[in-house]
Structure 1
Amino acid sequence: MAISHLSSGEVASLLPLGDMLEQTPTTALFKEERLEVMRIVLPAGTGMPVHAVDGPVTVQCIEGEVDLEMNEGHQILRTGDLVYLASGVPHALTSFQNSSILVTVVLARAAELQGIAGERRKHHDDNLETKWPENE
């Protein structure tokens, strides 16, 4: 079943989920040709392995506490914190506690940023299934 995205002008709540976090799925709020916005839910101890995206990304912690690992080391994101990552920056996420984050991705056209993220590029589809290269 395809996820229903927001329509132009439709409002979505991004308040902390609190006790409902573990029952709430990760959701693509909307996806256009050049922009995707997702609310990613990370129960305590879960995360996303190292990946990179062909386009700039922002990650904002809505609730909880998340470790953002990058080449430069680690950044701890707490409620209200926002971080910007340039195109192709490898990163991983691990939640220390039940967390939700707002991720905004500028989707580059292949001809514009061809191969910036290389083999570790992460792809999102409308069902938010993560696909990894066969050798990982």
Structure 2
Amino acid sequence: MKVASLTDDIQYHESRPTIQVLMETETGKEIRIAFKKDQIMKEHKTPFPIVVEIFEGAIDFGVNGTIHNLKRGDLIALDGGVPHDLRAIETSTVRLSLNKADSATRVDKVAKNS
């Protein structure tokens, strides 16, 4: 059994989203992305399917040039290879569910380069 919290010890970076691996299981990884208002993750793709949950706040989630206004409680699932970007409309906590074969380091690089 593994236990993690989306709300404990949230850390924010001044200029970019903060990535933290909360849990790794046999099948996937659960990652928390902490955004301050107006922080972005530039357009990128993932090699595997993902599920994104807006746990707190609101995010403009761009998919192939279409903006989806997501708020607390919303979920979005994407296949691998789909271009997408994120912009925090307000301070937000996002849960990202990754395939086990995907890399949290890849996600961190996207945040650092945004």
Alignment TM-score > 0.5, same fold: yes
Aligned residues: 107
Query: Taking structure 2 as the reference length, what is the TM-score of the superposition?
Result: 0.77
Matches within 5 A, 1:18-37: 22=12, 25-31=18-24, 34-37=27-30
- Kept in 1: contact 2:42–2:110 (CA 8 A): no
Q: Structure 2 unaligned runs (5+)?
A: none
- Kept in 2: contact 1:44–1:99 (CA 8 A): yes
Matches within 5 A, 1:6-85: 9-15=1-7, 22=12, 25-31=18-24, 34-71=27-64, 73-85=66-78
Query: Taking structure 1 as the reference length, what is the TM-score of the superposition?
Result: 0.66
Distance 1:131-1:83 versus aligned 2 partners, 3 A rule = closer
Q: Which moved more, 1:28-37 or 1:54-63?
A: 28-37
**RMSD over equivalenced CA pairs, Å:** 2.9
Instruction: Find the structure with the greater CA-based Rg.
Output: 1
The answer to which structure has the higher strand fraction is 2
Aligned to 2:109: 130
Q: Structure 1 unaligned runs (5+)?
A: 1-8, 110-122
Which of structure 1's runs of 4+ aligned residues deviate more than 3 A? 20-23, 31-34
- Kept in 2: contact 1:38–1:103 (CA 8 A): yes
Higher relative contact order (Cα pairs below 8 Å, separated by 6+ residues): 2
